[in-house]
Amino acid sequence: METTSKFRGQSLYAILLLASINLFLFADQNLMAPNLTRIAQDFGFSEVERDIKLGGNISFVFWVLGGVISLSIGYLTDMVSRRKLFLIVILIGEIPCLLSGFAQTYGQLFWFRALTGIGIGGALPLTFSLVGDYFPHHQRAAAAGYLGLAMGVGIALGQLLAGMIGPSLGWRLPFIIVAIPNFLLGILFWLTVKEPERGRTEESLKELIEKGQVYTRRINWGEYKNIFKVKTNLLIFLQGIPGTVPWGVFFIFLNDFYSQDKGYSVEKATLIVMAVGLAAIIGGFLGGLIGNKLYNLKPSYLPILCGATTLAGIIPMAVLINYPPQFGVENPSIVLPVIIGLFTGFIVTITSPNVKAMLLNANSPETRGSIFSLFNLADDLGKGFGPVVISFLIVLFGRVWAFNIANLFWLFCGLVLLYLAVVFPHDKEALEEVMEQRAKTMIS
């Protein structure tokens, strides 16, 4: 990736370190999923209590509290040193993650998980605000793809770790293992990373900043309100909440669903879900690279790619949910569910890095922390409300029907993303005009 000569090595080093930190932050995200039944047994819960208290309530508070707190962190991101704020956010998230491994009651686990959500919620706006100042507009989809790769690897490794060692060593140990590295990486980031100047990768500001000019604009209430005048932002927020609901099926319920309702062992069910996770990693990474090329051909191709792949992902997910139970089958094969999971995960994650690139390219440098905190809130509301909605649908209709209903949420998302093909290019051009005017002001 191209950067200015002054920051090339430092930019690449910072991105690698950011990716490593996010890997371990996101490794925490699904540590409960492979062991929902084991945790429920430990706390004396029934199957219904398992799905509502562990699958629904904890997921809700984890995502929603993190999303709400990230609003203030996003605003601070656009005002203060991002490097120092990032270290604080990491510590706020990882300390309760570590303590989750020592929880002895449901109440303790509930609040430790709630506080852990702040780490992921706060890290996202900080990470992508920095990305916007490390890489120019024509490389941001690829940069988001690399970061998405790290996050996806983290989710997969965390869930694999919990699924493999949970049955033998207990469900608590994975929380301790994934928390420890970021205490060291966070301090390393604070000590060794130099923060980039805001606006240094904008075409109209690049030469001015290289000559010593400083882009001094910062977020204020007027700028914050203008975020909601950008149609690209509103449409991405609109599809964000329903778009995360089906992921609640994958990463909260599917592991337990395949082990309890489909007749597979916990270990085999974990491998099936890991197939989805592995494909999601590849799909998000390659999706960013493909999106980057399509964007450079024509900006409207980027949302078309997002919408088409989101709609296409509905079909293989439906097959995965409705796969026939294997009770009574000796040593049931996981080959076909794994293949279906690979295809599903790959298709539906192509959207992720490209949506983030659209947000970066439609918003000014001093608002990117705030815009990603709002995006994260929409995302977290979906992740939080999704499992709650699904858990109540399970009570009403059973797991299979509930999961099929959740799958259809992607239909709405795909249509909204296709409409962005009309809106996004105009918002991108409008931002470029604004930045050119600000460059003229800096010169004068």
| 258 closest CA partner among 330, 344, 324 | 324
- Pick 9 or 148 by higher pLDDT: 148
pLDDT at 306 over 70: yes
422: Cα separation from own chain's centroid: 25
**In this structure, which topology does domain 8-443 adopt according to CATH?**
Growth Hormone; Chain: A; (1.20.1250)
DSSP 299: T
334-393 tens-digit pLDDT: 899 999 999 999 999 999 999 999 999 999 999 999 999 898 888 777 776 777 788 888
Say what the pLDDT of residue 9 is: 66
What stretches of 170-205 show up as alpha helix (H) in DSSP?
Answer: 173-192
Dihedral, CA atoms, 431, 199, 7, 294, nearest 10 degrees? -10
Q: What's at 251, amino acid-wise?
A: F
Predicted TM-score (pTM) of this structure = 0.80
- The conformation of residue 78, written as its DSSP 8-state character, comes to T
Q: What is the pLDDT of residues 228-280, one digit of tens each?
A: 999 999 999 999 888 888 887 776 788 888 888 888 888 888 888 878 878 98
CA distance 428 to 442: 21
pLDDT at residue 444, rounded to an integer = 64
Mean pLDDT of the chain: 87
Look at residue 8 and tell me whether its pLDDT is greater than 80: no
Pick left, alpha or beta for residue 331 (phi over 0 → left; psi -120 to 50 → alpha; otherwise beta).
left
Say yes or no to pLDDT of 5 above 60. no
The residue assigned the tokens 């990305």 is 131
Quick check: 121 and 380 in contact, CB under 8 A?
yes
Burial class (CB in 10 A: 0-12, 13-18, 19+), 427: buried
Say yes or no to pLDDT of 4 above 70. Answer: no
Contact assessment for residue 110 and residue 64, using Cβ atoms and an 8 Å cutoff: no
